[in-house]
């Protein structure tokens, strides 16, 4: 039985197969409409989420399966003091697979150690968000036609943003990727990612505080929200939250075929005027998220359609 804790749990070849399956689902959804008849997905969300939880639920429903779960710690037995390990032992008796989001780094890993059903990490604190990464990889592969030979700018809260931490690890495995990290001093990418992931493998990266300086070089601009809930000090959040606002003026500096991605939710970091630019890919990214989660559920449940 397999779980998904980090995007690196899949080899590059396995990821290719998963993304191929997601693309086939996009083209022939009817083929998969009953692939999970009678199966149940539990969504265990100890932290708020709209997109990820509903994306998992839509994915399972598109496969003909059923869903149940909770959407906040307050509405689960965690409020009575139940441990994650006990909850997952109990859920294992009800469901065939589960997706867990938790504010504490490593909680889904603790659950996977005692679970008798596949556990998917749907975001653990500031650590990792592997299914967002699968979504991002499918979006990049579908819209740019490749996962190598790319210059990607990651902009915003690179310190706390788990989507960035997961995506950098995943893209670092492809050839000729250059990372440009765009952030204020206080929200720089953690040094363990620079040292252990990039420098250790000789992968080039630059750091910049100004988006305008690097815009013309980018194939992809990955914008992120400043992660308010992970700040200790409200004044710091208020000072940093509007540090970057992508608008049409800045988009003029970019290549004609650059794409703008964002894991969403957006706060102020992308002005709504950019939504009409054909290079804005963030809502298409949401749709790719459903296809890739369908592919993931099929893969972890080992459902093979002949």
Task: Using CB under 6 A, list all residues that contact ligand NCD.
Answer: 51-52, 123, 129, 132, 162-163, 225, 263-265
DSSP letter (8 states) at residue 189:
P
Pick the closer one to ligand NCD by CB: 39 or 142. Answer: 142
DSSP letter (8 states) at residue 188:
P
Task: Catalytic residue, from 3, 40, 52, 131: name it.
Answer: 52
Q: What is the DSSP string of 155-180?
A: ES-TTT-HHHHHHHHHHTTSTTEEEE
CA 246 to each of CA 129, 152, 211, 214, 229: distance values in angstroms, whole numbers, following the listed order? 24, 16, 9, 13, 22
Task: Catalytic residue, from 51, 89, 173, 266: name it.
Answer: 51
DSSP letter (8 states) at residue 5:
S
39 is catalytic: no
51 is catalytic: yes
224 is catalytic: no
Residue 306 CB, shortest distance to ligand NCD, in Å, is 34
Pick the closer one to ligand NCD by CB: 11 or 50. Answer: 50
Residue 90 CB, shortest distance to ligand NCD, in Å, is 25
Task: Catalytic residue, from 3, 101, 159, 162: name it.
Answer: 101
Task: Catalytic residue, from 80, 175, 210, 276: name it.
Answer: 80
Pick the closer one to ligand NCD by CB: 115 or 166. Answer: 166
Task: Catalytic residue, from 3, 127, 129, 141: name it.
Answer: 129
Residue 221 CB, shortest distance to ligand NCD, in Å, is 16
φ, ψ at 202 (rounded to 5°)? 65, 35
101 is catalytic: yes
80 is catalytic: yes
Non-local (6+) Cβ contacts of 252 within 8 A are: none
Residue 163 CB, shortest distance to ligand NCD, in Å, is 5
Beta bridge partners of 101: 45
Pick the closer one to ligand NCD by CB: 35 or 294. Answer: 294
**Could you tell me where the beta strands, DSSP code E, fall in 79-219?**
97-102, 119-124, 150-155, 177-182, 205-208
Helices (H) and strands (E) in the chain, counts: 11, 9
Distance in angstroms (rounded) separating the CA atoms of residues 12 and 171 = 10
Pick the closer one to ligand NCD by CB: 162 or 293. Answer: 162
Catalytic residues: 51-52, 80, 101, 129
């Amino acid at each position: 039985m397999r779980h998904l804790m980090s995007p690196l749990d899949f080899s590059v070849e396995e990821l290719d197969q998963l993304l191929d399956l997601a693309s086939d689902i996009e083209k022939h959804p009817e083929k998969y409409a009953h692939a999970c008849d009678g199966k149940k997905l539990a969504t265990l969300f100890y932290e708020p989420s709209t997109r990820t939880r509903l994306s998992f639920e839509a994915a399972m429903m598109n496969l003909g399966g059923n869903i149940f779960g909770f959407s906040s710690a307050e509405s689960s037995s965690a409020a009575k003091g139940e441990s994650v390990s006990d909850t997952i032992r109990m859920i294992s008796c009800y469901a065939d697979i589960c997706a867990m989001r938790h504010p504490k780094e490593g909680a889904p890993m603790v659950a996977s150690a005692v679970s008798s059903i596949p556990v998917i990490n749907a975001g653990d604190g500031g650590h990792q968000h592997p299914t967002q990464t699968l979504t991002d990889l499918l979006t990049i592969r579908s819209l740019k036609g490749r996962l190598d030979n790319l210059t990607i700018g990651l902009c915003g809260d690179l310190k706390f943003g788990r989507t960035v931490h997961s995506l950098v690890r995943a893209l670092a495995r492809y050839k000729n990727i250059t990372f440009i990290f765009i952030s204020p001093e206080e929200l720089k990418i953690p040094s363990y990612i620079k040292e252990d992931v990039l420098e250790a493998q000789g992968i080039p990266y630059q750091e910049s505080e100004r988006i305008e300086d690097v815009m013309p070089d980018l194939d992809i601009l990955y914008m992120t929200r400043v992660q308010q809930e992970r700040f200790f000090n409200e004044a710091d959040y208020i000072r940093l939250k509007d540090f970057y606002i992508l608008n049409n003026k800045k988009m003029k500096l970019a290549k004609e075929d650059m794409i703008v991605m964002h894991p969403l939710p957006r706060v102020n970091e992308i002005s709504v005027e950019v939504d009409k630019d054909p290079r804005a890919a963030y809502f298409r990214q949401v749709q790719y998220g459903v296809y890739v989660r369908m592919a993931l559920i099929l893969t972890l449940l080992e459902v093979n359609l002949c």
